A and B are shown apart, each in its own frame.
Chain A
Amino acid sequence: MSANGLLQIAMFLGVLLVLAKPLGWYMARVYEGKLPAFVGWMAPAENLFYRLCGVDRKQEMRWTQYAMATLWFSLLGVLAVYALQRLQGLLPLNPQGLGAVTPDSSFNTALSFVTNTNWQGYGGESTMSYLTQMLGLAVQNFLSAATGMAVLAALIRGFSRHTVDTIGNFWVDMTRSTLYILLPLSMVLALALVSQGVVQNFSAYQNVPLVESVSYDQPKLDASGNPIKDAAGNSVTEKVVVNEQTIAVGPGASQIAIKQLGTNGGGFFNVNSAHPFENPTPFANFLELLAILLIPAALCYTFGSMVGDTRQGWAILVAMMLMFVGFLAVGEYAEQQGNPAFTAMGVDQASSATQSGGNMEGKETRFGIVNSVLWATATTAASNGSVNSMHDSYTPLGGLVPLVQIQLGEVIFGGVGCGLYGMLVFAVIAVFLAGLMIGRTPEYLGKKIEAFDIKMASLVILIPPMLILGGTAVAVMLDVGKSSIFNPGAHGFSEILYAFSSAAGNNGSAFAGFGANTPFYNSALGLAMFFGRFWLMIPVLALAGSLAAKKRIPASVGSMATHTPLFVGLLIGTVLLVGALNFVPALALGPVIEQLNMIGLH
């Protein structure tokens, strides 16, 4: 890799680390209810909000009440997003006159946005009205993220409190996440993105003349709309000459800012952050990338701060960072190597001062290899799922990186809230394994880890592979499952595996050639997203409740320190081992075979 490439990556990671501490400190104050003065003036508005909602800010919830509030709130979101899509043809802010979305696609999209997945079976600019995008999808970008952060705050309280039966108030945690964290950050980011050229308007699509007209063939239709066939049974085509370009615009920046910050990832346009209006310049790309990992990284510091030992947060952040850099290196190497088949055709794929080189199919010139792979690694480390290049066209090894990161449970930074609560579950498993090895009762942060806690942690770790591998196995046995495959051979299997991994992991990125907008996949992936979100969230809340009720044991000489390099290594080992045990056989059938094929063919 070029010196500039290394510099770009180092700068990105450096800025991320520098910002983690101040933002993490701020978020800890927000969840502890000790608002710093510069946002204190908003407190009366917050109190008025609780009065209208009939919420007593001081009344805390047991974990079961917390879980019920989460579920009811999410159910309302599903109903609202579904209804908006079905009724958008009758509602305002629809200058293109887009009609109702199909029931199965609406179901899928509603679950997708409420579960913070933002899997998109549809193309934004050709399907969703401005109203649906704003009032349905963008609202869920905020609220699903705020819900994840609230659940994390509850789990952290499980560690930081002792001998109590409550873990906080869902309405307060969710509202504060939105008002004090997501909304102000989104506002700043949205305006910064507009300054780079991201669109923000309510105009109809723009028509501009083409410098050189374009012609294409389309099937000729008879009066009733059926294709006309000639004597030999072939379709008759007619030449269409196009002299104008219709350019889709809309209120993009406001939605793009929160889709990145909330690790949602659902694009305003079909190709997401590869679209020049969604991600116009390298600086816009830098800001959007930073926004993907900013809150997840900072939450590690929040965690350390709230449990009263910031070293604990840094240890987790270091473990995440090390895994991230490892996966990034593999991806950058694989994509920069390019496609051996192209070299044989007289194509120059070498990196130089005047070109990025490498595997440029499905990548944008302004991002090149370095920023495309950096994005692909960040978006799947976090459960973001937005893309600035097409993962389906990656080399097999390059495409393996995002796939594996999703399958590890998106705990390398992870989604806002859900990433860190997933990682803390791995930490619980890690101390449990260490306890087994040395024959002592495992403890983490002064809490004894007992049978109930390990059962909940095991659910969190076992449910995603069950959904991913089970779903993939069913799909490859059915014709409706196989007919959506776009690329032939081993790559086709990878497409299905990626789809179920992305849905169950609540990521939302795709091997996008895959035809996911069918009743079968809309339903199957919708269910995978639902279980992948709430069947993890509920055990996590149960764990939080169980931990909060325990006594705190003072650290003794026999306690294992959980802020040392040894523990960082143990944590990384646990994440990789569990992931490898679950997914290596499936990966061998997809990307591994394809990589061997690609090399073998040349």
Chain B
Amino acid sequence: MLKVLRPAIVSFLLLSLLTGIAYPLLVTGISQVTMPGKANGSLIMKDGKPVGSSLIGQSFSDPKYFWGRPSATGPMPYNAASSGGSNLGPTNPALMDAVKARVQALRDADPGNTQPIPVDLVTASASGLDPHISPAAAEYQVARVARVRNIAPDAVRKLVAEHTEGRQFGILGEPRVNVLALNLALNAETGTH
């Protein structure tokens, strides 16, 4: 018994120190020295204060802003202290009701727009914190934002293009638009808050 217990206990303690303390501290040390911005949450700073994270979305429902992906976090959308998806199944009536309501809200905010709605704009993201929408979802909203803000659609379209990221290295992932960064830029451009 002792013959197996000593190696079990001592190796467990030593490997715990190595992998549970030394390893994360070393990674933290190197990251904090060489990449502090990334390691601390990619915060967007304005006048020395954080105004959001470029990786974490925020909730928008005012027609003057671009809206992001619907978020299923509780108790409020885009709760970055408690990530979560809707987990609604494909045949769940609650999913049908939710999508119908989102379609209706988009139509109500922009009655003249009869284009089909890009799917990412009416389906909840996995994390509830998705900072992006597809370029198609941004284009769908350009006319509305331009009208409410009383600026030319092409000026809005130009801002969208500036905040659109292509596939990484031209291959990986999907093209996408950062909603928070776009809305902050819209506010800066038109002087609203």
Residues of A in contact with B (beta carbons under 8 Å apart): 4, 7-8, 11, 49, 52-55, 65, 68-69, 72-73, 76-77, 80, 123, 125-126, 134-136, 138-139, 142-143, 171, 174-175, 178, 183, 186-187, 190-191, 194-203, 205-206, 208-212, 214-216, 218, 240, 242, 245-249, 251, 253-255, 257-258, 269-271, 274-277, 280-283, 285-286, 338-339, 341-342, 345-349, 352-368, 370-372, 387-390, 392-396, 486-491, 511-514, 594, 597-598, 601
Q: Would you give the shortest CB distance from B151 to chain A, in whole angstroms?
A: 18
Q: Which of B30, B57, B81, B100 has the most CB of A within 10 A?
A: B81
Asked if residues A363 and B125 are in contact (CB atoms below 8 Å), the reply is yes
* B window 108-149: CB within 8 A of A: 115-120, 122-137, 139
Asked if residues A347 and B119 are in contact (CB atoms below 8 Å), the reply is yes
Indicate whether B155 reaches chain A with its CB closer than 8 angstroms: no
Could you say which residues of chain A place their CB within 8 Å of the CB of B103? Answer: 345-347
Asked if residues B39 and A201 are in contact (CB atoms below 8 Å), the reply is yes
Could you say which residues of chain A place their CB within 8 Å of the CB of B123? Answer: 342, 359-363
Give per-residue flags for B74-107: 1 if the beta carbon is below 8 A from chain A beta carbons, else 0: 0111111111111111111101100110010000
Asked if residues B20 and A365 are in contact (CB atoms below 8 Å), the reply is no
Asked if residues A139 and B16 are in contact (CB atoms below 8 Å), the reply is yes
Contacts A270-B83, A345-B100, A349-B119 given; indicate if A356 touches B11 (C-beta within 8 A). no
Closest B residue, CB atoms, query A5: B174
Tell which of A215, A270, A354, A358 touches B139, judged by Cβ atoms closer than 8 Å. Answer: A354
Could you say which residues of chain B place their CB within 8 Å of the CB of A274? Answer: 83, 85, 125-127
Asked if residues A364 and B19 are in contact (CB atoms below 8 Å), the reply is no
Contacts A276-B131, A368-B173, A489-B91 given; indicate if A54 touches B82 (C-beta within 8 A). no
Cα separation A353 to B66 with both chains bound (whole Å): 20
Asked if residues B35 and A512 are in contact (CB atoms below 8 Å), the reply is no
Asked if residues B119 and A254 are in contact (CB atoms below 8 Å), the reply is no
Could you say which residues of chain A place their CB within 8 Å of the CB of B11? Answer: 49, 53, 55, 73, 171, 174-175
Asked if residues B27 and A194 are in contact (CB atoms below 8 Å), the reply is yes
Asked if residues B59 and A352 are in contact (CB atoms below 8 Å), the reply is no
Closest A residue, CB atoms, query B139: A354
Closest B residue, CB atoms, query A213: B59
Contacts A194-B35, A363-B125, A491-B89 given; indicate if A206 touches B50 (C-beta within 8 A). yes
Could you say which residues of chain A place their CB within 8 Å of the CB of B86? Answer: 361-362, 390, 393, 513
Asked if residues B126 and A49 are in contact (CB atoms below 8 Å), the reply is no
Tell which of A11, A54, A200, A355 touches B27, judged by Cβ atoms closer than 8 Å. Answer: A200
Interface of A is mostly: mixed
Could you say which residues of chain B place their CB within 8 Å of the CB of A73? Answer: 8, 11-12
Q: Which of B19, B122, B180 has the most CB of A within 10 A?
A: B19
Contacts A247-B41, A275-B83 given; indicate if A346 touches B116 (C-beta within 8 A). yes
Asked if residues A360 and B41 are in contact (CB atoms below 8 Å), the reply is no
CB-defined A-B contacts under 8 Å, sample of 24: A52-B14, A80-B16, A138-B19, A139-B15, A139-B16, A202-B28, A211-B180, A245-B79, A246-B79, A247-B81, A254-B23, A270-B82, A271-B84, A277-B55, A277-B56, A348-B118, A352-B136, A363-B123, A366-B174, A367-B174, A371-B174, A487-B87, A511-B87, A594-B90
Tell which of B18, B43, B79, B90 touches A339, judged by Cβ atoms closer than 8 Å. Answer: B90
Closest A residue, CB atoms, query B55: A276
Contacts beyond the supplied A65-B4, A194-B27: 8 A-B pairs with Cβ under 8 Å: A142-B19, A206-B41, A247-B41, A360-B123, A365-B176, A366-B130, A392-B87, A489-B92
Could you say which residues of chain A place their CB within 8 Å of the CB of B92? Answer: 487-489, 491
Q: Would you give the shortest CB distance from A248 to chain B, in whole angstroms?
A: 5
Cα separation A359 to B127 with both chains bound (whole Å): 15
Could you say which residues of chain A place their CB within 8 Å of the CB of B35? Answer: 194-195
Q: Would you give the shortest CB distance from A213 to chain B, in whole angstroms?
A: 9
Could you say which residues of chain B place their CB within 8 Å of the CB of A281? Answer: 168, 173
Asked if residues A194 and B19 are in contact (CB atoms below 8 Å), the reply is no
Asked if residues A245 and B65 are in contact (CB atoms below 8 Å), the reply is no
Asked if residues A249 and B41 are in contact (CB atoms below 8 Å), the reply is yes
Asked if residues A355 and B135 are in contact (CB atoms below 8 Å), the reply is yes
Contacts A274-B127, A277-B55 given; indicate if A355 touches B81 (C-beta within 8 A). no
Closest A residue, CB atoms, query B124: A361
Asked if residues A195 and B38 are in contact (CB atoms below 8 Å), the reply is yes
Closest A residue, CB atoms, query B96: A341
Asked if residues B87 and A364 are in contact (CB atoms below 8 Å), the reply is no
Q: Would you give the shortest CB distance from A229 to chain B, in whole angstroms?
A: 20
Asked if residues A271 and B136 are in contact (CB atoms below 8 Å), the reply is no
Could you say which residues of chain B place their CB within 8 Å of the CB of A283? Answer: 168-169, 172-173
Could you say which residues of chain A place their CB within 8 Å of the CB of B81? Answer: 125-126, 205, 246-248
Asked if residues A286 and B87 are in contact (CB atoms below 8 Å), the reply is no
Q: Would you give the shortest CB distance from A391 to chain B, in whole angstroms?
A: 9
Could you say which residues of chain A place their CB within 8 Å of the CB of B131? Answer: 276
Tell which of B8, B52, B82, B169 touches A211, judged by Cβ atoms closer than 8 Å. Answer: B52
Could you say which residues of chain A place their CB within 8 Å of the CB of B50? Answer: 206, 208
Q: Would you give the shortest CB distance from B127 to chain A, in whole angstroms?
A: 4
Contacts A200-B28, A206-B41, A276-B56 given; indicate if A178 touches B7 (C-beta within 8 A). no
Contacts A200-B31, A208-B53 given; indicate if A143 touches B43 (C-beta within 8 A). no
Contacts A55-B7, A123-B82 given; indicate if A368 touches B52 (C-beta within 8 A). no
Closest B residue, CB atoms, query A143: B15
Q: Which of B18, B91, B118, B183 has the most CB of A within 10 A?
A: B91
Asked if residues B23 and A216 are in contact (CB atoms below 8 Å), the reply is no
Tell which of B10, B15, B79, B167 touches A54, judged by Cβ atoms closer than 8 Å. Answer: B10
Q: Would you give the shortest CB distance from B13 to chain A, in whole angstroms?
A: 9
Contacts A347-B103, A352-B136 given; indicate if A513 touches B88 (C-beta within 8 A). yes
